[in-house]
A and B are shown apart, each in its own frame.
Chain A
Amino acid sequence: EVQLVESGGALVQPGGSLRLSCAASGFTFSNFEMNWVRQAPGKGPEWVSYISSRGRTIYYADSVKGRFTISRDNAKNSLYLQMKSLRAADTAVYYCARVIPFDIVVDSGVINTGYFDSWGQGTLVTVSS
């Protein structure tokens, strides 16, 4: 059974730092791309960051670029999100999510896409003084 378990959420003051972890089990973690997605209270999910299976390709949402760093340790089956210069707007439940990639064949070629098939239970980050 695929399991993703986030940890590390806490109450932190504005300008502070925090490191989130996501422990993966039930699948070969090193074969899968991973993401962080967050959800502010009463709002919809917001994609935060992506990392390829070997960690060579990384993307960030503009809202966190320069402040958050995604990383992974395939030997430990773990995904991380280092967050610094935290703001009140970063208050949210943070989820890790696994990607299942697939291709769509269209007339003009192939579209590389995928879907987030498994999510953790989330960890709450509250930024407040």
Chain B
Amino acid sequence: DIQLAQSPSFLSASVGDRVTITCRASQGISTSLAWFQQKPGKAPKLLIYDASSLHSAVPSRFSGSGSGTDFTLIISSLQPEDFATYYCQHLNGYPSPFGQGTRLEIK
């Protein structure tokens, strides 16, 4: 089964910062990767699918890139509402793995 490893696990940043989160797959997965944002007590919210396609109503400061085994989520200018936990997920058949998460906190 494919496994996803996110880094870092924890990130401290300030409003206005540019932030990069990475997700590495244990084998090549083309662009079959999604990114989610989750706030405490809420369901995950889809941000990016197909590695780089922005889901509807997601602000353009979020972007994704990558193909094969290495992927990145970039937040170009952090806003207060962006402090949350971020997960990557692969979906090409099942099981469908998630990364272990990156917790983004205010510095």
Contacts and interface: CB of A to CB of B under 8 A. Distances in A.
Interface residues of B, number: 26
Interface string B11-33: 00000000000000000001110
A116 B95 contact: no
Given A115-B50, A116-B46, A44 B87 contact: yes
B65 to A, nearest CB: 15
Nearest to B51: A104
Contacts of A31: none
B100 A104 contact: no
A114 B49 CA distance: 8
A104 B98 contact: no
Interface string A87-109: 00000000100011010101000
B98 A106 contact: no
Interface of B: 30-32, 34, 36, 42-46, 49-50, 55, 87, 89, 91-101
Interface of A: 35, 44-47, 50, 59, 61-62, 95, 99-100, 102, 104, 106, 111-117, 119-122
